[in-house]
């Protein structure tokens, strides 16, 4: 496919991610648990944490699309597209749980999408080893971030916890996939810069 055609397809996918409700392929892990009545504060807090995770998944879609657009090898591009499909489940589960908790998604999602897409494009241009290094480090940081949410969520909020746990395990697999495909290792300063930018995103999205 010509680059311009791929760009149009990526733009179309971006609009769909931001506008249309995502369809999951795997059942929502929360569905196996009964609804437990949470306090108002717990519900609001959980809704905001899931808003952060939802925005994280919007960014994951954007990153994957951007990276796939400029990835050099077909092998890497196909792996990225496959992983992006799996991330759609996360996006849909988060959206469903946010609704159940009476919350809302971030108003700034189009902005985060654009930023993450641009980062993905740059990572792809840097070459497959660095592209995969970016993916690996992102997934590792998301895994740690989801572990921190498991500490913050109420123990009785089994539905939200079930979603976060499956997402955490999937992200771990994505990092391992990137490693197996030949990811390089980012220098420490770059990992710290990524942590800083994701902390700006999470703190903002908790409120907006
Ligand atoms: Fe994800
Ligand atoms: Fe992932």
In this structure, the number of other CB atoms found within 10 A of the CB of residue 203 comes to: 11
Which run of H or E residues covers position 176?
helix 158-180
Confidence (pLDDT) at 18: 81
Residues in the chain: 208
pLDDT at 51 over 90: yes
Counting ligands in written order, the one closest to the CA of 178 is: 2
Q: Which of 14-23, 37-46, 125-134, 166-175 has the lowest mean pLDDT?
A: 14-23
pLDDT at 15 over 90: no
144 close to 175: Cβ distance less than 8 angstroms = no
Q: How far is the CA of 141 from the centre of ligand 1 (A)?
A: 11
Q: How far is the CA of 62 from the centre of ligand 1 (A)?
A: 12
Q: How far is the CA of 64 from the centre of ligand 1 (A)?
A: 11
Q: How far is the CA of 161 from the centre of ligand 2 (A)?
A: 17
**Nearest-CA neighbor of 206 among 7, 44, 86, 66?**
44
Counting ligands in written order, the one closest to the CA of 64 is: 2
pLDDT bucket at 146, cuts 50 / 70 / 90: very high
Confidence (pLDDT) at 166: 96
Structure-block tokens of residue 151:
């500490």
CA dihedral (37, 144, 60, 46) in degrees, to 10, reads: 20
- Going through 36-161 in order, the beta strands assigned E by DSSP cover none
Residue 127's SS3 state is coil
Q: How far is the CA of 132 from the centre of ligand 1 (A)?
A: 16
Structure-block tokens of residue 71:
């990835």
Q: How far is the CA of 60 from the centre of ligand 2 (A)?
A: 7
Concatenated DSSP letters of 86-103: HHHHHHHHHHHHHHHTT-
Range 38-202: architecture per CATH: Up-down Bundle (1.20)
Average confidence score pLDDT of the chain: 91
In this structure, the number of other CB atoms found within 10 A of the CB of residue 148 comes to: 11
Q: How far is the CA of 91 from the centre of ligand 1 (A)?
A: 7
The 10s digit of each residue's pLDDT in 78-115 is: 877 777 888 999 999 999 999 999 999 999 999 999 99
Structure-block tokens of residue 136:
């690996």
Q: How far is the CA of 98 from the centre of ligand 2 (A)?
A: 19
Cα separation of 85 and 25, whole Å? 9
**Nearest-CA neighbor of 43 among 117, 135, 171, 154?**
154
pLDDT bucket at 148, cuts 50 / 70 / 90: very high
pLDDT bucket at 160, cuts 50 / 70 / 90: very high
pTM of the full structure = 0.91
């Amino acid at each position: 496919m010509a680059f311009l055609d791929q760009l149009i397809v990526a733009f179309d996918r971006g609009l769909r991610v931001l506008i249309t409700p995502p369809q999951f392929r795997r059942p929502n892990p929360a569905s196996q648990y009964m609804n437990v009545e949470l306090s108002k504060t717990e519900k609001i807090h959980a809704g905001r944490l899931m808003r952060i995770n939802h925005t994280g998944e919007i960014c994951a879609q954007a990153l994957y699309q951007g990276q796939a657009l400029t990835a050099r090898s077909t092998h890497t591009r196909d792996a990225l597209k496959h992983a992006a499909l799996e991330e759609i489940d996360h996006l849909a589960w988060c959206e469903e749980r946010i609704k159940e908790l009476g919350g809302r998604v971030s108003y700034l999602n189009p902005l985060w999408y654009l930023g993450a897409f641009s980062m993905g494009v740059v990572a792809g241009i840097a070459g497959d080893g660095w592209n995969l290094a970016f993916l690996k480090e992102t997934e590792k940081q998301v895994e740690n971030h989801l572990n921190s949410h498991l500490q913050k969520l109420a123990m009785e909020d089994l539905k939200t916890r079930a979603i976060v746990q499956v997402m955490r395990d999937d992200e771990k697999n994505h990092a391992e996939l990137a490693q197996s495909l030949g990811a390089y290792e980012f220098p420490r300063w770059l990992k710290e810069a990524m942590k800083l930018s994701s902390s700006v995103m999470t703190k903002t999205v908790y409120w907006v």
